[in-house]
Amino acid sequence: MGAIAHRALDQRLERGSATPIVVAFSGGGDSLALLLEAKRWADRAGRRLVAMTVDHGLQPAGAEWALWCRRRAEREGVPHQTLVWRGVKPAKGLPAAARLARHRLIANAARDLGARIILLGHTADDSLEATIMSEDAVRISAPRPWSPSPVWPEGRGLFILRPLLAARRSAIRSVLECAGQRWIDDPVNLDQRHPRARARLIAAGRTPDDRSPDRPDLAALLGASRIGPAGQIELPVKSLSDGSREACRAYLGAALLCVAGREAPARGSQIDRLMTRIAGPDAFACTLAGARVAKSADRLTLVREIGDTRRYGRPVAYPQLGEIAVWDGRFEVQASEAGLAVAPLAGLAARLSSLQREGLRALDPAARLSVPVVVDAQGKVSCPLTTPDPRITLRSLVAERLAAASGAVQSEAAIWRVAKSAAAS
């Protein structure tokens, strides 16, 4: 178990960095094993760990378990934070909502610490359980060894590493038992009314496939793409026809998600229909999942679709003085003056100066509508993308997010390289 975890940590993470690493610690056997192995590795690598436990408020003993986790982590010399999921819980889809809440809470806390890596204790059994549940038409993604955070925008720039994904749960528990370790057993894991508990029982008797599922290589499509200042993505149609169907499907899904600034991707069936149209001879324009897709003779352009603002409203942010906020899922904004709002250009172009309107002419007409502009308390409008505005800083998130979603970031060191490259573009 230790060798498996340390190989994964050595492969992905940097030694000697001052940036902390977050360990998600539920108190179960898998997460306890992760905490112990991560601490051994961190001590040798000169890294700082912080353990985080989420109390979902769903179990009567939740607060007691969180206290146990804090004491157990601190016994290992690891600082601990308890994060509480507050508010009304949904009557339907509770497990999925709890997963997203857990990811959001940990992502926000990790960002506050300046961390970029979150360690999760998934094992080979979790992969088997995901496969079994999908066979029963339960939609759940199989965990990957390394992946971007699944929540947006809270998870921007954050990556998840699962160092125990090649280990079996039974082997992990045997090692813990031999060492005299104790952990928390959540009774929900044994409740056969839940799909996960039923899948866990079946998975225990199966042998996992050691082969990792092949992930399509998206490097060529990413390299052929140009990301504009308004967050639009352009690429030659030929690059799509030259790639495999699996790669094109995955890349279009990622590109639509990044352009629209959304958290939930387009459905696979929608992307399949889009690919059929792209492969055809005709030019077209359509909207899909918050993006406008336009195909010309040789080029495909994806831009944010603002839509009918009179009917659906406008994406508007009111950044607090000095704080970093996210506007429309596509731009980080930071204001140095109070009373500013960030909104899309659509319907406000007439309030720009003639010089700024001229600067926008270089953009695709469809992309102009979604350009972020600043509106002050007097109703004056400026466009920082054409003329820098000292009152506010804008940073596009599209290039960085697309690189992560396309698999271009495969280690901690690559996070900083991609972020630096995206900032310079």
Q: What is the pLDDT of residues 360-396, one digit of tens each?
A: 988 888 899 999 999 999 999 999 998 999 999 999 9
Domain borders along the chain are 2-203, 219-308, 315-399
What beta strand segments (E) does 13-150 contain? 21-24, 49-55, 80-84, 117-119, 146-148
Fold of 219-308: 3.30.465
**Which of the listed ranges 58-62, 129-133, 372-376, 418-422 does the model predict with the highest average pLDDT?**
372-376
- Give dist(CA 390, CA 229) in Å, integer: 18
- Give dist(CA 280, CA 301) in Å, integer: 16
CATH, domain range 2-203 = 3.40.50.620
Do strands 226-227 and 233-236 pair parallel, antiparallel, or not at all (unpaired)? antiparallel
With 60 as the cut, is the pLDDT of residue 311 above it?
A: no
- Give dist(CA 247, CA 217) in Å, integer: 6
Burial class (CB in 10 A: 0-12, 13-18, 19+), 55: buried
| pLDDT at position 59 | 87
- Give dist(CA 243, CA 358) in Å, integer: 38
Percent of the chain residues past pLDDT 90, beyond the cut: 75
Burial class (CB in 10 A: 0-12, 13-18, 19+), 135: exposed
Cis peptide before 145 (omega within 30 of 0): no
135 pLDDT band (50/70/90 cuts)?
A: low
- Give dist(CA 38, CA 162) in Å, integer: 11
| pLDDT at position 136 | 62
Beta-carbon contacts of 108 under 8 Å, excluding residues fewer than 6 positions away, are 154
| pLDDT at position 193 | 67
Percent of the chain residues past pLDDT 70, beyond the cut: 93
Q: How far is CA 64 from the centre of its chain?
A: 30
Do residues 411 and 13 lie in contact, with contact meaning Cβ atoms separated by under 8 Å?
A: yes
**Helix runs in 184-299, H state only:** 195-203, 219-224, 237-242, 245-260, 268-279
| pLDDT at position 51 | 98
Average pLDDT over residues 208-236: 86
Do residues 133 and 199 lie in contact, with contact meaning Cβ atoms separated by under 8 Å?
A: yes
Q: What is the model's pTM?
A: 0.93
Give me the residue label for tokens 């992760």: 34
Beta-carbon contacts of 6 under 8 Å, excluding residues fewer than 6 positions away, are 37, 40, 41, 163
Q: What is the pLDDT of residues 278-293, one digit of tens each?
A: 999 999 999 999 999 9
